[in-house]
Structure 1
Amino acid sequence: MNRTNNRTQNRTHRGVRLAALAAALALLTGNAFAQNVLIRNATVHTASAQGTLKNTDVLVRDGTIAAIGTGLPAGSATVVDAGGKPLTPAMFGGVSAIGLDEVSSEDPTNDQSLALGQGKQMVVRPEFDVTLAYNPASVLVPIARVEGIGFTLLGADTANGGSIIAGQGAVVRLDGSADPAGPKLLFIQLGSDGAGLSGGTRASQWMLLDQFIDEVRGRIPTNAPMAMLTPAGRATLARFIDGGGRVMVGVHRAADIRQLLRWSQRHNVRIAIQGGDEAWKLAPQLAAAKVPVFLDPLSNLPRSFDQLGATLENAARLRNAGVQVAFSQSDKASHNARKIRQLAGNAVANGLSWEDGLAGLTRVPAETLGVGDRLGTIAVGKRADLVLWTGDPLDVSSTARQVWFDGRAIPMRSRQTELRDRYLRAAGTLPRAYPADAN
């Protein structure tokens, strides 16, 4: 009798699980097609010249923002009552390795740097493209997006050697898409962090960069003994000189930034700075050259001689001089991309305006990285990548209530929320790690 009862109970439990799974799939399927939504009565932080709009509705139709105003008719759209809470564009996760780095201590899961050559041999391969290794099914993707992160810049780095030219990366949206959302960027590492890849001195970095330019322009034949670039490398690098694509340069020291500005102006290279702990010392020059800076506002104590001038006021001083400021964690914290809101909040606490703090997480990175026509602001015609918050999005005590991609409400679940729910529920006769229906 007991066996019969147990079998009956097990079948019942399996039926409940299947029903729950079917319901979840139905919800996901519904979200996949529910692209018409009216978010009513929100405090809309547009991150644009329109500023903040209180008690405002945002109508999304076919995945695009169709109207912004008050008292908008819903029609057939699903209505979400924001209750006056903040609505922002989906945020930037910084320069990261989300989808390239699954377990930091496990080399086979790390795909953001190139390791070719032996010993001190320099291998220069600007054609290396980290986006080819991007995994949209990475567990880090939902962990970031349930925290309001909608896009990130996949960055190539020099952790495994190679040369001061690390390779290419691009923006990806964290909506499950497999392909980059924007144009490719080239990553270069200068200063003391790149000295080991340039003969042990930062002085040679400019010599090498000038040689690469000479190779691209044909002043050094491909078969010359001193040539370093492959034909593919020359073709790639050619796209980033003479006003071409954006080059992201990792550099901190003011003296190196000064040389970078001279080099970029000499060869008409469109640069952005990643790091820039001493960038505030050249704020007027950076503003005049229209060079944006992706910085970590928590970088206050020098970790190297390149960062002796680090200050919590870096963002405010740069912005006051007219420099466009965006945010990125200094250690490419792919597993903690959500903390980038804390960076912006600390910049605001140290003199940056709240509006510029939000812009550094939305509009500025989107425009700098070539996706500003679709992302980064709330405006009619833009993609409806949106986040509804429980409170001030620059306050870490606030959380994302709902995230939309193209107007689709995503399930607000990740591996971390699943672990939370598994281990915080009340224990039964078996330990809490067991499924609830096992008791």
Structure 2
Amino acid sequence: MRLKSLILAAASVVALSTPALAQDLTAITGGRVLTGSSVIENGTVVIQNGRVVSVGTGAAPSGARIIDARGKVVAPGFVAVDSGLGGSEISSVGGSDDLSNGANTISAAFDVSYGLDPWSFTLPVARLGGITRAVVVPNHPGGSGGHNHQDDSDFAGVGHAGLQSPSLFAGQAAVIHLGQGNDILVRARVAQVAPFGEAGAGVAGGARGAEFTQFRETLTEVRLYARNRAAYDRGDVRDLSLSRADLEALIPVVEGRMPLIVTVRRAADIQQVLRLAREEGIRIILDGAEEGWLVADQIAAAGVPVLLNPISNLPGNLETRGARMQNAAALDAAGVVIAIKGNEGSIHRARETRYNAGNAVSHGLPYEAAIEAITVNPAKIFGMAGQFGELRPGAAADVVIWSGDPLEPLSLAEQIWINGQEQAPTSRQFLLRDRYRDGGEGALPPAYGR
């Protein structure tokens, strides 16, 4: 009997750690379908081979596995942006945090994709909050990615002759999916990251003017290096302030092929960053932008998207004295493409992304815009429009059936598919709850006295 119990327990663990085998053809019928950009009442979503086949009001195809979603909401999986999911387990424990880098010889070239952990306990928790994809960013002074507890000065690294110490650049972001299995990387090196404003000024020596000057000089050096690689190899180029790896990593930025995520909060700093991007011909994504509503028209005119937390409304310092809960609504009304973030680095609280979207709706953001801000917009911002974050033919079959409105805190994600594979609706927390709540053999360690 004891052996049988152990076998059953082992089987349950394997079931939780292995992707559920997807049916060849599945139709989710009768639900209120949020495609990401529209609403279909009594809709039918058909998925096959990991992709969405069709979305509409037609009948389910013959031979399909039918999932009855009547009275429920069917939505695309949500996307966590500016996140540390898979890159940090416990932010205060350095050995479990692969988002922070202090080596000044590797800064812009720092690639978070190499530190991703597909077995992280944080992924199932976020998944139960409807999160199926995430944009994982390196941590840096002033940023929220990873919710690191270190002081800004901890990023300074050890000095190295001729190199920036610390660097203006934090590294390169990656896109992951939260499906079960051992390979969660979707795309590496989707964006470069750099702090501006007060945090960036601190890195550059204390003044904003110093940072902008140093940033421009760095871009000049990258262009010089790109034109003279052979001369650089021969030692015929003057000393440059970045390592070869960092120079190579920044070439896509200066050529406009890779966006630069710029952490900036104050309206005045936003204006200067927009000017910098225009004059240098680089693509930027604003991160934070708590005072963005003050210059919303300028952000929109520049065609620059914004990653924001809509509940950031406290003037914690002079950079955010104009922060307000209507920021998301004002930016959207001006025509800015926005993506809504979770809280504290979108790791342990990534599931609160939908709560933040709901709060933005309560402060003027249209409901449809809030759904777009956590689905289609993140994919669009990071150059992957149509590939995920939307229920449309050809997109990844990341689908969530909700018990009710997904922006309502009491709604539950009842069934979840990622890449067409149905996910186990559990987490380590649920397993521990069930173990100690239900009792029975193996519920407590043998030496535990009852």
1:280 aligns with 2:293: yes
Partner of 1:7: none
Question: Which of 184, 187, 191 is residue 185 of structure 1 equivalent to?
Answer: 191
Q: Distance in 2 between matches of 1:394 and 1:264?
A: 35
| CA distances 1:103-136 after superposition (whole Å, capped 9, x unpaired) | 122111111121125xxxxx57211111111111
1:216 aligns with 2:229: no
Gaps of at least 5 residues in structure 1 are 1-11, 118-122
1:229 aligns with 2:242: yes
Question: Which of 357, 367, 375 is residue 354 of structure 1 equivalent to?
Answer: 367
Counterpart residue identity of residue 98, structure 1: L
Cα 1:204–1:34 shift into 2, 3 Å: same
Partner of 1:82: 69
1:172 aligns with 2:176: yes
User: SS at the partner of 1:105?
Assistant: coil
Partner of 1:341: 354
Gaps of at least 5 residues in structure 2 are 142-154, 157-165
Q: Distance in 2 between matches of 1:326 and 1:350?
A: 16
User: SS at the partner of 1:338?
Assistant: helix
Partner of 2:134: 152
Counterpart residue identity of residue 3, structure 2: R
Q: Distance in 1 between matches of 2:186 and 2:389?
A: 16
| CA distances 1:183-209 after superposition (whole Å, capped 9, x unpaired) | 521001011122221111122111011
1:163 aligns with 2:167: yes
Question: Which of 92, 96, 109 is residue 79 of structure 2 equivalent to?
Answer: 92
Counterpart residue identity of residue 31, structure 1: A
Counterpart residue identity of residue 236, structure 1: A
Partner of 2:21: 32
Partner of 1:205: 211
| CA distances 1:156-198 after superposition (whole Å, capped 9, x unpaired) | 1225233221011111111142423365210010111222211
Partner of 1:130: 112
Given that 1:366 and 1:375 are in contact with CA atoms closer than 8 Å, whether structure 2 keeps it comes out as yes
Partner of 1:46: 35
Partner of 2:98: 111
Calculate percent identity across the aligned residue pairs: 34
User: SS at the partner of 2:87?
Assistant: coil
Cα 1:330–1:144 shift into 2, 3 Å: closer
User: SS at the partner of 1:238?
Assistant: helix
Greater C-alpha Rg: 1
Please say which of residues 245-254 and 196-205 is displaced more in the overlay: 196-205
Q: Distance in 2 between matches of 1:24 and 1:65?
A: 29
1:59 aligns with 2:51: no
Question: Which of 234, 240, 252 is residue 253 of structure 2 equivalent to?
Answer: 240
Please say which of residues 281-290 and 74-83 is displaced more in the overlay: 74-83
Cα 1:96–1:315 shift into 2, 3 Å: same
RMSD of the TM alignment (CA)? 2.4
Q: TM-score, normalised by structure 1?
A: 0.89
Q: TM-score, normalised by structure 2?
A: 0.87
Partner of 1:252: 265
Cα 1:132–1:40 shift into 2, 3 Å: same
Q: How does 1:296-315 map to 2 (within 5 A)?
A: 296-315=309-328
Given that 1:293 and 1:325 are in contact with CA atoms closer than 8 Å, whether structure 2 keeps it comes out as yes
Q: CA deviation at 1:432?
A: 5.7
